[in-house]
Structure 1
Amino acid sequence: MQNSESGRAEECEETLVFFDLETTGLGQSCEIVQLAAVSGGHSLNLYIIPRSRMQRGAAKVTGFKVRKHRLYLHRQLVLTNSLREVLVAFIAFLQMLRRPLVIGHNIRRFDCRLLARALDELDLRAEFDSSISGCVDTLPLAREMLKDRSLQSFRQENLVRELLGVDYKAHDALEDVRALQALYSVLKPTSELICKHRFTLDTMQNKPVKACKSKVASKPPQQRPLWEHFRQAVKLTESKAEGHDGEPNGS
Structure 2
Amino acid sequence: MRRAALDAKLCQPLVFFDLETTGLGPSCEIVQLAAVSRGHSLNLYTVPQCQMQLRAARMTGFRILGRRLYLHRQPVLTNSLREILVSFMAFLRMLGRPLLIGHNITRFDCPVLVRALNKLDLLAEFQSAISGCLDTLPLTREMLKDCSVQSFRQENLVNAILGVKYKAHNALEDVRALQMLYSVLQPTSELVCRFTFCFG
Give TM-score scaled by structure 2 length.
Answer: 0.95
| Unmatched 5+ stretches in structure 1 | 1-8, 203-251
Match of 2:171 in 1: 173
SS at match of 2:183: helix
> Is the strand fraction higher in 1 or 2?
2
Aligned mates of 1:93, 1:145 — CA distance in 2: 30
Aligned mates of 1:55, 1:185 — CA distance in 2: 34
CA drift of 1:28 comes to 1.5
SS at match of 2:70: strand
Counterpart AA for 2:164:
V
1:86 aligns with 2:49: no
Match of 1:22 in 2: 20
CA drift of 1:170 comes to 0.4
CA drift of 1:150 comes to 2.2
CA drift of 1:200 comes to 1.3
Aligned mates of 1:180, 1:28 — CA distance in 2: 24
CA drift of 1:201 comes to 2.0
CA drift of 1:16 comes to 0.3
Deviations 1:155-198 (A, max 9, x none): 00000001100100100000000000000001100000000000
Match of 1:38 in 2: 36
Deviations 1:184-236 (A, max 9, x none): 0011000000000001123xxxxxxxxxxxxxxxxxxxxxxxxxxxxxxxxxx
Identity %: 71
Deviations 1:53-74 (A, max 9, x none): 1000000000000001100000
* Structure 1 ranges of 4+ moved more than 6 A: none
| Unmatched 5+ stretches in structure 2 | 1-6
Counterpart AA for 1:88:
V
Quick check: 1:35–1:47 contact (8 Å CA) kept in 2?
yes
Match of 2:116 in 1: 118
Rg: which structure is higher?
A: 1
Computed over aligned residues only, the root mean square deviation of the Cα atoms, in angstroms, reads: 1.4
Deviations 1:75-112 (A, max 9, x none): 00000000000000000000000000000000010000
SS at match of 2:129: coil
State which of 101, 122, 134 in structure 1 corresponds to 2:132: 134
State which of 171, 189, 192 in structure 1 corresponds to 2:190: 192
Aligned pairs for 1:232-251 (under 5 A) are none
1:47 aligns with 2:45: yes
Aligned mates of 1:57, 1:77 — CA distance in 2: 20
Quick check: 1:113–1:201 contact (8 Å CA) kept in 2?
no
Aligned mates of 2:161, 2:128 — CA distance in 1: 34
Aligned mates of 2:183, 2:192 — CA distance in 1: 13
CA drift of 1:142 comes to 0.2
Counterpart AA for 1:18:
F
Match of 1:213 in 2: none
